[in-house]
Copies of this chain bind each other. A is one copy, B any other.
């Protein structure tokens, strides 16, 4: 019998990844994953980019490359960060990662000793919680309202909590809540982390997927002290299958993340990094994103409208301005894990909410995704959910 490391006591199967195995079954309508709509992938264009890249540079693509990642792609990322996010950086501060998930693992490895504290929004991204748990940390959850993290609560927590090593936040269309922080909270956040000198991860996988409301600046764009480590990714705007994300950090942190990447994986795929780079050269990714937005806007709107029409009044849900998710809150006596199990029997999959609370107290919420469903599925799925919810109400 193998004698595993102590950290394995903390590592459990992701509810989402487990659900993904079930929801392939016929007849199941899935609101569980965070999958982009595959019919919107620019398959022909990406195929052309792969083709041109292999034609011009196939040997380089198939060979080992530098740990920090394909230099032309890091330069293109810097240019796009400047243009889209007003973030000024340079390629030396960029590390390519195999999706942002790998950046989470690397940041946990870089900062967390057992017993260290990670401060997160309540709720927060389940995958980030699982990544940090590998390093035997504990979590402090900052209360949130409809505008995201409550900054006075963050200030109080940082003033009174020892061993806080990292703060992890998603200010835009948060996973799972769909909420977005207004400008004044962003400014307050920067002031607070600078006051305490704590490093914060700004995870921004959905920022480009704003389909209503006004642009809000990234935390990283107002971070002269460089306490923010910014995560970007091509997963939601181009393709998750290529596994290309990136970190933007100060010189010292970037150097350390590079050392970790060397030891953990040597490098990301030369081939997919070069293909993404070629795609960006040959095509206008913003034009591609502009085709995604109306579809997600429509699907989100249809899901929200259908819930508004049929859900009982005691059920609350967010109306996001972008991203992939809405968050449903039931009366406190409803156990969302039991509800989700019953939903599966009825042919609709949602992710029970407790996994998004690292300390697990909150049982009466669930997460819904609208990006990867047809109109019919959105309406029928919400109706199935509605029936199931009503079974659970007193």
Interfacial residues, chain A to chain B (CB-CB below 8 A): 2-8, 11-14, 17, 20-21, 33, 35-36, 38-39, 41, 43-44, 46-47, 50-51, 54-55, 58-67, 98-99, 101-102, 105, 109-113, 116, 127, 130-131, 133-135, 165, 199, 238-243, 252-253, 256, 259-260, 262-272
Contacts and interface: CB of A to CB of B under 8 A. Distances in A.
B133 A263 contact: yes
A58 B8 CA distance: 36
A134 B264 contact: yes
B41 A59 contact: yes
| Residue among A8, A105, A253, A269 facing the most chain B CB atoms (10 A cut-off) | A269
Contacts of A35: 63-64
Given A41-B59, A102-B265, A33 B239 contact: no
A125 to B, nearest CB: 12
Given A5-B112, A239-B62, A271-B272, A14 B54 contact: no
A264 B110 CA distance: 13
Contact of A135 (B5, B116, B256): B5
B55 A239 contact: no
A54 B134 CA distance: 35
B36 A59 contact: no
A122 to B, nearest CB: 20
A184 to B, nearest CB: 28
A241 B109 CA distance: 25
Contact of A240 (B55, B63, B110): B63
